[in-house]
């Protein structure tokens, strides 16, 4: 049975909350126009990071799902962070929060990264250790969890 609460669903939920906060809590819409448009660059950076990671997953024909991987990717964006997809999702949500100008919308990005840090990444790291053993431990020593 597939999990309903997966990272893309979490991103979508955070996005809905970002929009909701903008409309329901207008007193917290604190970032003035045009400064809020800087969020577009941050959001596009998040898309770019996710795209680079997705391309490497495809190149090595391994899974994006939280399950045993068939290949330990250590090149490209994976040489800078062990979790580029989550980092990209964070920057996407942060950029959208800034675009929507709301303080609580920006906090959604922080909430997302905390959920990934404590709920998803430990499970993934356990699977990676089971799949790749010492090779993964060596990779963990060289590359940080985040940027």
pLDDT tens profile 119-144: 999 999 999 999 999 999 999 999 99
User: What fold, for 33-63+71-142?
Assistant: 1.20.120
Per-residue pLDDT at 5 exceeds 70 = no
Strand, coil or helix: what is 48? helix
Domain residue extents for the chain: 33-63+71-142
Higher pLDDT, 67 or 114: 114
Q: Which of 97, 108, 86 is nearest to 39 (CA)?
A: 97
- 72 vs 85: CA distance, rounded Å: 15
- What is the average pLDDT across 42-55? 97
Q: 4 pLDDT band (50/70/90 cuts)? A: low
* Whole-number average pLDDT of the chain: 92
Q: Is the dihedral of CA 59, 60, 61, 64 positive or negative?
A: negative
């Amino acid at each position: 049975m597939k999990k309903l609460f997966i990272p893309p669903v979490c991103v979508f939920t955070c996005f809905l909350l970002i929009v909701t906060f903008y409309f329901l809590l207008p007193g917290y819409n604190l970032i003035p126009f045009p400064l809020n448009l800087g969020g577009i660059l941050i959001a596009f950076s998040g898309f770019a990071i996710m795209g680079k990671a997705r391309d490497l997953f495809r190149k090595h024909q391994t899974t994006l799902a939280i399950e045993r991987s068939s290949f330990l990717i250590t090149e490209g964006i994976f040489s800078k962070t062990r979790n580029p997809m989550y980092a990209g999702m964070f920057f996407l949500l942060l950029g959208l929060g800034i675009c929507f100008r709301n303080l609580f919308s920006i906090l959604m990005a922080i909430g997302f990264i905390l959920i990934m840090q404590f709920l998803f990444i430990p499970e993934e790291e356990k699977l990676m250790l089971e799949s790749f053993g010492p090779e993964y431990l060596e990779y963990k020593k060289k590359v940080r969890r985040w940027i």
